[in-house]
A and B are shown apart, each in its own frame.
Chain A
Amino acid sequence: EAQVTQNPRYLITVTGKKLTVTCSQNMNHEYMSWYRQDPGLGLRQIYYSMNVEVTDKGDVPEGYKVSRKEKRNFPLILESPSPNQTSLYFCASSFFLGAGYEQYFGPGTRLTVT
């Protein structure tokens, strides 16, 4: 089954404790992206990657890191999480179809930082 998987689905952590949210896709997509979703603000793009070893900042990259060492994986790293990073996080992947990207989203990771 074609899908984007994220782990963990739920995470409660404390301020300053490094964490990684994994994202994996089995569709051989070149493009992958991370978003956060907050009430009243919609989804905001954190980082995206056009292909292996190519990453770029989205709209809200502060406090986050990513890496793309393999085509299928795109982990999101919070080196020193803070309470304002409490949010619902989504990973997405896509082929570039010429007319644009048709993104497939993972199920989300709900992160709480206390």
Chain B
Amino acid sequence: TQLLEQSPQFLSIQEGENLTVYCNSSSVFSSLQWYRQEPGEGPVLLVTVVTGGEVKKLKRLTFQFGDARKDSSLHITAAQPGDTGLYLCAGASNTGNQFYFGTGTSLTVIP
């Protein structure tokens, strides 16, 4: 089992603040994905990063894949209440066929 640890586990911030969520492992992944999950629904893919050092931006969200492809971060600028949800990272095995999910970061943005 390739473990992915996310931190923090819970995060409650005011609207307009910035935040960073971390996803760390001792294992190397062929790619890493970030998902957001809302209560009662399945996870929804936000982004896939593939290359070590890669940075992707999705509006106010910035995703980075570590140089060694063992860790990743998600930075949200000027958080909004609509960003509230459970954020999950998932690493793909070297074959790309198996996925290992982090335990998640529950984000609450207070208006």
Check B80 for interface membership: any CB of A closer than 8 A: no
Tally of chain A residues near chain B (CB < 8 A): 28
Contacts of B99 in A (CB 8 A): 33, 45, 101, 103
Find the B residue at minimum CB distance from A107. Answer: B42
Q: B33 touching A100 by the CB < 8 A rule?
A: yes
Q: A102 touching B103 by the CB < 8 A rule?
A: no
Q: B92 touching A43 by the CB < 8 A rule?
A: no
Q: A101 touching B92 by the CB < 8 A rule?
A: yes
Tally of chain B residues near chain A (CB < 8 A): 25
B33: which of A45, A56, A102, A108 is its contact (CB, 8 Å)? A102
Q: B100 touching A45 by the CB < 8 A rule?
A: yes
Complex Cα gap A4–B43 (Å): 12
Given contacts A43-B88, A102-B33, 16 further A-B contacts (CB under 8 A): A35-B101, A40-B103, A41-B103, A42-B101, A42-B104, A44-B101, A45-B98, A45-B99, A45-B100, A56-B97, A59-B98, A96-B96, A100-B50, A100-B92, A102-B45, A102-B48
Residues of B at the A interface (CB closer than 8 Å) are 1, 4, 30-31, 33, 40-45, 48, 50, 88, 90, 92, 96-104
Q: Which 5 pairs show the lowest CB-CB distances between chains A and B?
A: A105-B42, A100-B31, A43-B101, A42-B103, A42-B101
